Amino acid sequence: MARRVRIRRVIDGDSLEVKYAGLFSFLRRPFPVRLYGIDAPELAQPRGQESRQRLAALTRRGGFSMEAMATDRYGRTVGLLYRRRRRGQSVNVEMVRSGMAWWYRRYGGRDLGFPEAEAEAKRRRRGVWRDGNRARRPWDYRADLRRSRQRRRRMKRILIWTVVVAVVVVAIAMGLAVIISLFW
């Protein structure tokens, strides 16, 4: 069931902060929403800021309704966002069609128009597809960041243990030097 919402702010190309609209809406708190079926470039990636601006432009004016699909592991509502006046394609599909987001196949959405929208964006070289297939998918980018962080943590641990071992060796050597000097 779709409910009327007000867009409070755009976080990035696939995340928003919304608030339910209607009677007593002033009592309701804003909450984070992850757009269902899409994954937009991270803000630090090429076209990340552009993707955010595109979502902001799509959600700037007009009334919206949202169909909540699930809750993700971060507690965000995962939903389909629609313009209330123009029924039809969701804002989610419009983001993919404009080339500012990938269809997130892993989570479905085949029957919502995502495959056709992505094929059109690729064919017309829009957004992330301007550079052909060289654009880095956000899920690969995040996986590389995680691996990089793990590598840095591992190197930090190695460095700490190297220093500890060096200090122990020096302490033992100094202790031996003191003992030898006493008996020499």
137 annotated active-site = no
3-state helix, strand, coil in the chain (%, to 5): 50, 20, 30
Each residue of 105-119: b (16+ CB within 10 Å) or e?
eeeebeebbbeebbe
Catalytic residue among 8, 76, 126, 137: 76
Name which of 63, 46, 48 is nearest 11 in CA terms: 48
Contact 4, 22 (CB under 8 A): yes
Catalytic residue among 42, 54, 83, 97: 42
Catalytic residue among 34, 47, 52, 83: 34
130 annotated active-site = no
42 annotated active-site = yes
Annotated catalytic residues are 34, 42, 76
